Structure 1
Amino acid sequence: MGDIKAEDLFLEADQLSDDNKNIEARNILLELLSDFPDYGRAHNLLGWLYQNKFSNNTKAKLHYEMAIKYASDFGGGYNNYAYLLVETNKYDEMLSFGLENINNNSVDKAVIYNKLGQAYELKGDLLNALECYNLSIKDTLSLQTLESMYSAKSRVKKKMSFFQKIKTLNK
């Protein structure tokens, strides 16, 4: 009976979030998590709400970490956590997280490689950024992601020195 209640509350909160009723969605998720603290997908949605609707990245980070802990087979938590790390300028943490989880079958490799590329790029490691963008291209079926990655590659190449560009010719 408990699992059904948790699922019902989660679906209700998800619909409220879709309807932009974010306070109500948050309250239902908090209620759900008080009864079912290990409901990973609820942590993920609550993290997303805190990040994108309430501008509270500290709480978002905590809930994404709980989502990954309790729903390690759900890719959304990994993706959202990666977005948060780059958005909050935690590039070294993103590199560690991404490299540690890239071979996890639950992650969207295209997303993780993209975020790794962004972290490398923003740290000034343009060769590794370019490599990650290429890997993201290889691992996506999304036309939108492809266009975004080709744009990122173009941007990185414009930032490269002459000698860095020569190094890319051998790859």
Structure 2
Amino acid sequence: MDNSVMLEEMLNNANTAIKENRYEDASSILEEIISIDPNFGKAYNHLAYLYDTKFRAYEKAETLYTLCLEKSPEYPPLYYNFAMLLSNLEKWEDLKNLLDKAIHVVGITKSTIYNEYGIMYEQQNKFDTAIEYYKKSALSTIDNNALKRIKTSIDRTKQKKAIHYDL
């Protein structure tokens, strides 16, 4: 069996373990993938996801996402996952740099990245900039549910702006 096929199969097994809440099993499989091929970036992303969302070891997750970015900068899921971590950690400069890269990745959902910019600026009370990015997100989606969520984000940001300037 081709090594890359075997690694993808192992990654699928790790995904199955994650879906079945067998996080330690998934972690072991992902560590094994990395030991076989330290350049298999997807494994770093999946392992980072576990450390981020299941083990709550954010520093380790950030390190693993950074390794994935080095090994597989063309892997779209990395950007969505890493953006959420950086946002939660309020690492705004790092997040902006990541989003600036993400917007140029082939296969990335631009509306999602624009939405992440909007969230980032909203969290920093940069309401006009946030609204502009939410509008870009709205204009680049064809998903009606996403459009409804974006409209809600714009309305919420406008309300925050009004409150902020009333203070």
TM-score norm. by structure 1 comes to 0.87
Distance 1:104 1:4, change over 3 A: closer
Distance 1:48 1:144, change over 3 A: farther
Conserved in 2, the CA contact under 8 Å of 1:72 and 1:106?
Answer: no
Distance 1:80 1:133 in 2: 19
Question: How much does 1:122 deviate?
Answer: 1.1
Distance 1:81 1:93 in 2: 10
Letter of the 2:145 counterpart:
Q
Partner of 1:94: 95
Distance 1:56 1:8, change over 3 A: same
Is 1:5 the counterpart of 2:6 in the alignment?
yes
**Deviation sequence 1:14-43 (CA, Å, 0-9, x none):** 111111111100011011101111111111
Consecutive unaligned residues of structure 1, counting only runs of 5 or more, are 165-171
Conserved in 1, the CA contact under 8 Å of 2:79 and 2:98?
Answer: no
Per mean C-alpha deviation after superposition, the further-off stretch among 43-52 and 101-110 is 101-110
Partner of 1:46: 47
Question: How much does 1:103 deviate?
Answer: 2.5
Per mean C-alpha deviation after superposition, the further-off stretch among 134-143 and 20-29 is 134-143
Consecutive unaligned residues of structure 2, counting only runs of 5 or more, are none
Structure 1 residue runs of 4 or more that deviate by more than 6 Å after TM superposition:
none
Distance 1:91 1:32, change over 3 A: same
Question: How much does 1:54 deviate?
Answer: 0.6
Conserved in 1, the CA contact under 8 Å of 2:27 and 2:47?
Answer: yes
Letter of the 1:140 counterpart:
T
Distance 2:30 2:101 in 1: 29
Partner of 1:80: 81
Partner of 1:109: 110
Partner of 1:156: 157
**Deviation sequence 1:116-152 (CA, Å, 0-9, x none):** 1111111111110001111111222333322221111
% identical equivalent positions: 26
Conserved in 1, the CA contact under 8 Å of 2:76 and 2:105?
Answer: no
**SS of 1:160's equivalent?**
helix
Distance 1:83 1:25 in 2: 21
Question: How much does 1:73 deviate?
Answer: 2.1
Letter of the 1:158 counterpart:
Q
Letter of the 1:14 counterpart:
N
**SS of 2:61's equivalent?**
helix
Conserved in 2, the CA contact under 8 Å of 1:9 and 1:28?
Answer: yes
Q: Over aligned residues, Cα RMSD in angstroms?
A: 1.7
Aligned length: 163
